[in-house]
Amino acid sequence: MPFHHTRLPNGLTIIGETSPSARSVALGYFVRTGSRDETPEEAGVSHFLEHMMFKGTPRRTAEQVNLDFDRIGSSPNAYTSEENTVYYAAGLPEYLPQMLDILSDILRPSLRDDDFDTEKKVILEEIKMYDDQPGSVAGENARRIYYGGHPLGNSVLGTLGSVGALTRDQMHAYFTRRYAANNIILSVAGNYDWDQMVAQAAAACSGWNTAEVGRTHRTECNGVGGLHVLTRPKVQQEYVLFLAGGPPADSKMRYAADTMALAVGDDTGSHLYWALIDPGLADSADCSFYENDGSGVVYASFTSELEHAERNMEIVRKVLANVQKNGLTAEELKLAKSKITSRWVRGSERPMGRMNAIASMWAYTGEYRDVDTELANYDAVTLDDVRAYLDKYPVDRLTTVAFGPGAKVAGVEGQVV
């Protein structure tokens, strides 16, 4: 599938994979900003701003944004992570001009005072709602503790205090600083004409500002270590997370890390499956690799009754220590690669999947890799590669966080949250 890329004079990057046999097209604006790019006073502004982008522009009210998408049978969507804020849509090829027009329009929002005040209430409710979800509380706190002050541990939602105190002018300043054209990638995949699309995008985005953009703290993190116990008596189950450092998104070692994590923690046939799930010792168990800009992290986790939490913690530690010492077996490596290959291919079948994949690759590495290249990269992972990855990023160098009803876990007193 042909790949193209270009850069507008103001620095906006446009990338695209064209697939003439596709029956749809997907497009997305990837803004390279998120909670890790916020100052403490701005905590939560990236996510709050993502909501505000749908509240209207000089050309459209919020209702018109929805109506205009409705007319072409599509709907826009968005998400905010620690380091990316993404706005995207998919639809029939003949409607690409309309989708591009509306998405480009909402990327320059009015940020009206009234809308800001109304939406702030929605965000504060959302923060409270997530605070009712134990899995979310456990994850947020585990990140915060593991990163020990590094901005990758910042909360995407922010706090009731930080969002409550945020002003419209602070948001506008953040927008001007981070939503500069040279910090944005437009990614398009599916059935469309590259030249026409670029001409339209250039016209729509040529007025966008350029700024000094970048990202501080692109250093690797390996966690603060230790066991940290957080207590909330009303929670029913104990949530335990184990975090270890991993390669950053632009490292070749990411393939070995991804493969190792799947062999250890996939939902069937993995080390943790056989150690915890099959014998009925825990309700869930997982191990996944997450890659970030400049740093990566491996998360292992389980949930279980409090009374079995300490025993299960020992089991997970033994599983990880064993992998650290012995690596994977040839059979395990083969199995993990075949799962990854199958999922990668199926995830690439839709333009939406490809639009996302090429944007992530480009954002992190400035490279394009087609499906076959990416499959070959996974297929090339050897037992020695896994060993070399583990030697550099030991998976038993853990920071452990427990959250749940336990007031004292493995001898550590809990802090009430």
- Which range of residues in 73-81, 209-217, 280-288, 398-406 is near a second copy by CB under 8 A? 73-81
Per CB under 8 A, 22 contacts a second copy: yes
Choose, by CB under 8 A, the member of 2, 41, 70, 125 that binds a second copy.
70
Q: Of the two residues 241 and 282, which places its CB atom closer to a second copy in the complex?
A: 282
Query: Interface with a second copy includes 287 (CB under 8 A)?
Result: no
Which of 346, 382, 391, 415 touches a second copy (CB under 8 A)?
346
Let me know: does 182 contact 176? Beta carbons within 8 Å. no
Total number of residues that touch a second copy (CB under 8 A): 34
Is 96 a binder of a second copy (CB under 8 A)? no
Among 190, 187, 196, CA closest to 87:
187
Q: What are phi and psi of 406, to 5 degrees?
A: -65, 120
Phi (first) and psi of residue 179, to 5 degrees = -95, 30
> Which among 40, 43, 15 has a CA at the least distance from the CA of 29?
15
Return the ∠ at Cα 325 (arms to 320 and 326), rounded to 5°. Answer: 100
Residue in this structure with the two tokens 């009925």, named with its chain if needed: 280
Give the separation between CA 158 and CA 173, rounded to whole angstroms: 17
Among 3, 59, 92, 321, binds a second copy (CB under 8 A): 92
DSSP line for 33-85: --GGG--GGGTTHHHHHHHHTTSB-SS-BHHHHHHHHHHTT---EEEE-SS-E
**72 contacts a second copy (rule: CB under 8 A):** yes
* Residue with Cβ nearer a second copy (21 or 216): 21
Q: Is 348 in the site for a second copy (CB under 8 A)?
A: yes
Element (DSSP H or E) covering residue 185: strand 184-190
Asked whether position 173 contacts a second copy by CB under 8 A, the answer is no
Span near a second copy by CB under 8 A; candidates 20-28, 50-58, 149-157, 391-399: 20-28
- Does the protein bind a second copy through residue 269 (CB under 8 A)? yes
CB of 132 to a second copy, least distance (A): 13
- Provide the minimum distance between the beta carbon of 78 and a second copy in the complex, in angstroms, as a whole number: 15
Shortest distance in whole angstroms from residue 248 CB to a second copy: 26
Nearest CA-CA partner of 19 in 135, 189, 145, 157: 189
The encoded tokens of residue 401 equal: 């966080």
- As given in the structure block, the two tokens for residue 345 are 């291919």
Considering only 15, 90, 107, 244, the residue that binds a second copy (CB under 8 A) is: 90
Q: Does 280 bind a second copy (CB under 8 A)?
A: no
Minimum gap (Å) between residue 282 Cβ and a second copy: 17
* Cα distances (angstroms) measured from residue 199 to each of 76, 142, 206, 349: 22, 45, 10, 27
Question: What angle in degrees, to the nearest 10, is found between the helix axes of 194-205 and 96-106?
Answer: 30
Q: How far apart are CA 144 and CA 136, in angstroms?
A: 12
The answer to whether 111 contacts a second copy (rule: CB under 8 A) is no
Which part of the chain contacts a second copy (CB under 8 A), choosing from 65-73, 165-173, 196-204, 360-368?
Answer: 65-73
Q: Is 339 in the site for a second copy (CB under 8 A)?
A: yes
Residue (75 or 373) nearer to a second copy, CB: 75
Q: Binding to a second copy by residue 406, rule CB under 8 A?
A: no
User: Is 297:246 a contact under the CB 8 Å cutoff?
Assistant: yes
Choice between 351 and 414, CB closer to a second copy: 351
Tell me: does residue 216 bind a second copy (CB under 8 A). Answer: no
Q: Which stretch binds a second copy (CB under 8 A): 86-94, 133-141, 145-153, 244-252?
A: 86-94
DSSP state of 414: P
Residue with tokens 């419209």: 168
Interface residues with a second copy (CB under 8 A)? 21-24, 66-67, 69-75, 90-92, 95, 268-269, 335, 338-343, 345-346, 348-352, 371
